[in-house]
Amino acid sequence: MKRLVLFLAILPVLASCKKDSDKQLYDRVSGEGLVGNWQLFEEGSSPGAGYYITKIPANPAQMLWFRENGTWESNIRNKSSSGQYLYTDSTLSFQNGTVRYKISGDTLTIHPPCYEGCHSAYVRVR
């Protein structure tokens, strides 16, 4: 019984360590704000019941670049895209719509409009 209690006490600590280890494969760099280089590392969605997270392999790198001049580029899913963007503290506006975003440490999370919720998470890289 003591072992079970000890295991249950340690479990949250072990679970909290996993998120950072998922990002160890990426060439992370510190920085602030939206401008910079971002590499996709996970996507999440809900098909109506539950929420599912898919880890994205580090190679090939799926990137999103935000430039200081208000332009962006992407190679997500091997498709090149680019354009202009505007942003506030919580929204990003592109030519085809607006999404919510949040930056926490070295992680950018984008929440496009979805009926059941979804996200794409990026880590800041060189």
Residue 39 sits in a domain of what CATH number? 2.40.128.50
Cα separation, 7 vs 45, whole angstroms: 31
Q: 76 is written with which tokens?
A: 């997500």
Beta bridge partner(s), residue 68: none
Q: What angle do CA 35, 39, 42 make, to 5 degrees?
A: 125
Cβ pair 87, 34 in contact under 8 A? yes
Residue range of the domain that includes 105: 2-125
pTM across the whole model: 0.76
Average pLDDT of the residues in 20-34: 62
Q: What residues contact residue 56 under an 8 Å CB cut-off, 6+ apart?
A: 40, 41, 42, 43, 62
How many whole angstroms separate alpha carbon 125 and alpha carbon 38? Answer: 6
Tens of pLDDT, residue by residue over 68-118, are: 999 999 999 989 999 999 999 999 999 999 999 999 999 999 999 998 899
- The number of domains in the chain is 1
